[in-house]
Amino acid sequence: MIKKLTLLTAFAATVGLTGSAQAAEDSFLFGAPQKPQVFGSLGYSGIPRLGYMQGISPTVAIGGEFILDIGAFYSLGNGVAGNAISVAGAVPIKILLAEEDKVTFALTLSPGLGVGVPSGATFFELLLHSGVNIGYKASSLVTVGGGVDIPVTIFLGDASGVLFPILFGPAAEFRIAPQFSLRSELKLGPHIAAGGAGGLGGSTTSLGFKFNVGVNYRF
């Protein structure tokens, strides 16, 4: 009897751990997705962002991403929308920092390079984007939470300078089918530009606004 109870307890614990790990492995916003997948999103100021990602260890995933940005990476100030166009490529790296029961904690690093054309000027971009999200697994299909994004961008050329947005807000992810998931983010905060970066015309602080709706397809 004791032996049977021990085996049942061990089996239940194994199933629980497997389900928890699977949720983090599948999560794009709150984990490090292990299965190869393509992803895309539409919103402001990235219209669109498209890429591919796969896991390289149980807690790390890496991929490639194409970015078309129309607002100096999330600025709403000084009539920037549509006036500061950037075309860039990035290497998103997802790192699962911690997972406890229903809570996951993940870091995203997205270094990259790009070219921008604000108001007729031309410059090169060095992307040093990063972010942290904390998620709560409300069910096997839904994870909700939020975090902070700091998409630092350095500009060199006709409009040299640095962008330093600090954006906070909610995020959510929904499994709608075994291979498909939907996700969304809404983040706000100060958008700091120094030295005329991004075509903002001098050092400014404006409202930063990030909103997107995305989809992931796992192979």
Residue 11 has pLDDT above 50, yes or no: no
Residue 7 has pLDDT above 80, yes or no: no
Distance CA 68, CA 89 (A): 9
Residue 180 has pLDDT above 90, yes or no: yes
Higher pLDDT, 82 or 188: 188
Distance CA 149, CA 132 (A): 7
* Confidence at residue 20, expressed as pLDDT on a 0 to 100 scale: 42
DSSP 116-157: EEETT--EEEEEEEEEEEEEEE-SSSEEEEEEEEEEEEEEEE
Residue 16 has pLDDT above 90, yes or no: no
Cβ atoms of residues 189 and 203 within 8 Å: no
- Cis preceding linkage at 118, omega within 30: no
Average pLDDT on 96-118 reads: 93
Question: Coil, helix or strand for 5?
Answer: helix
Local confidence band at 23 (pLDDT 50, 70, 90 cut-offs): low
Instruction: For residue 148, count CB atoms less than 10 angstroms from its CB and return exposed for 0-12, middle for 13-18, buried for 19 or more.
Output: middle
* Confidence at residue 82, expressed as pLDDT on a 0 to 100 scale: 56
Among 24-33, 81-90, 178-187, which is the least confidently predicted range?
A: 81-90
Total-model pTM = 0.85
Average pLDDT on 66-84 reads: 80
Residue 151 has pLDDT above 50, yes or no: yes
Among 56-60, 104-108, 191-195, which is the least confidently predicted range?
A: 191-195
Question: What is the number of alpha carbons within 13 Å of residue 214 lying toward its C-beta?
Answer: 27
Structure tokens at 24: 């983090």
* Confidence at residue 160, expressed as pLDDT on a 0 to 100 scale: 82
Long-range contacts of 63-66 (CB under 8 A, 24+ apart): 63/91, 63/92, 64/89, 64/90, 64/91, 64/92, 65/89, 65/90, 65/91, 65/92, 65/110, 65/112
The residue written with tokens 């069910």 in the block is: 139
Among 72-76, 150-154, 199-203, which is the least confidently predicted range?
A: 199-203
